[in-house]
A and B are shown apart, each in its own frame.
Chain A
Amino acid sequence: DAGVTQSPTHLIKTRGQQVTLRCSPKSGHDTVSWYQQALGQGPQFIFQYYEEEERQRGNFPDRFSGHQFPNYSSELNVNALLLGDSALYLCASSAGPTGDEQYFGPGTRLTVT
């Protein structure tokens, strides 16, 4: 049973560029949440997708957007990258938007130069 997978593992981008990160949820899960984890801090909630819609959103600017596909996989898009966007981006899946514990992928390390 495959767990949560994310791609790519690492990514280096330049300020002002755009980036797309991808996530495939654990088998049987239909909800995907995205988190940003800066160095030395805990993950910060970006948003959650369920039934192909954004259901909840944290305190992140509109530069951060996402999408969920019919197969429940998800993308996180960040436009006009800033140096401060450098972080580990974690995807988590769960069975339902208020389901029990979330399962996390290994993350995508984004470096903005």
Chain B
Amino acid sequence: DQQVKQNSPSLSVQEGRISILNCDYTNSMFDYFLWYKKYPAEGPTFLISISSIKDKNEDGRFTVFLNKSAKHLSLHIVPSQPGDSAVYFCAASANSNYQLIWGAGTKLIIKP
């Protein structure tokens, strides 16, 4: 039972354009969501998070949107840069329980 789903295994975007990565979840108890970026041979790196009391959180080029009614969140990267090419993971937790539930990841490729 996949509680966190990233349905796009890969995404290709032109440099300078917007990248939108999507994530769906099924557990209504999730109240904290995070995005991580992972380069090959490295561990995941925290990017941005959002609490369920918010619907948007912004940090530089990265913005996360949360739609609780749809149980959907998305990560927007604008403008996309070559260094953004990586695998992006969506993760969620419930009630400050730090057992993160992860999606399978989306490989983002930024084309020059």
> Could you tell me which A residues sit within 8 Å of B by CB distance?
4, 31, 33, 40-45, 48, 56, 58, 90, 92, 94, 97-107
Q: Are B45 and A42 in contact (CB under 8 A)?
A: no
Q: Known contacts A45-B100, A45-B101, A48-B98: does B46 contact A101 (CB below 8 Å)? A: yes
Tell me how many residue pairs across A and B have CB atoms closer than 8 Å.
55
Closest to A40 in B: B104
Main SS of the interface on chain A? loop
Q: Are B98 and A99 in contact (CB under 8 A)?
A: yes
Q: Are A43 and B49 in contact (CB under 8 A)?
A: no
Chain B contacts for A90, CB-based, 8 A: 43-44
For window 30-60 of chain B, which residues contact chain A by CB distance below 8 Å? 34, 36, 41-46, 49
Query: Shortest CB–CB separation between residue B64 and chain A, in angstroms?
Result: 13
Q: Are A105 and B43 in contact (CB under 8 A)?
A: yes
Chain B contacts for A94, CB-based, 8 A: 98
In the complex, B25 has a CB within 8 A of chain A? no
In the complex, B28 has a CB within 8 A of chain A? no
Q: Are A106 and B98 in contact (CB under 8 A)?
A: no
Closest to A103 in B: B46
9 contacts between A and B (CB under 8 A): A31-B98, A33-B100, A42-B89, A42-B91, A42-B104, A43-B102, A45-B101, A106-B41, A106-B42
Q: Are B43 and A42 in contact (CB under 8 A)?
A: no
Report how far A67 CA is from B42 CA in the complex, Å. 24
Chain A contacts for B102, CB-based, 8 A: 42-44
Q: A33: which of B6, B46, B98, B104 is its contact (CB, 8 Å)?
A: B98
Report how far A105 CA is from B89 CA in the complex, Å. 16
Q: Known contacts A106-B41, A106-B42: does B103 contact A42 (CB below 8 Å)? A: yes
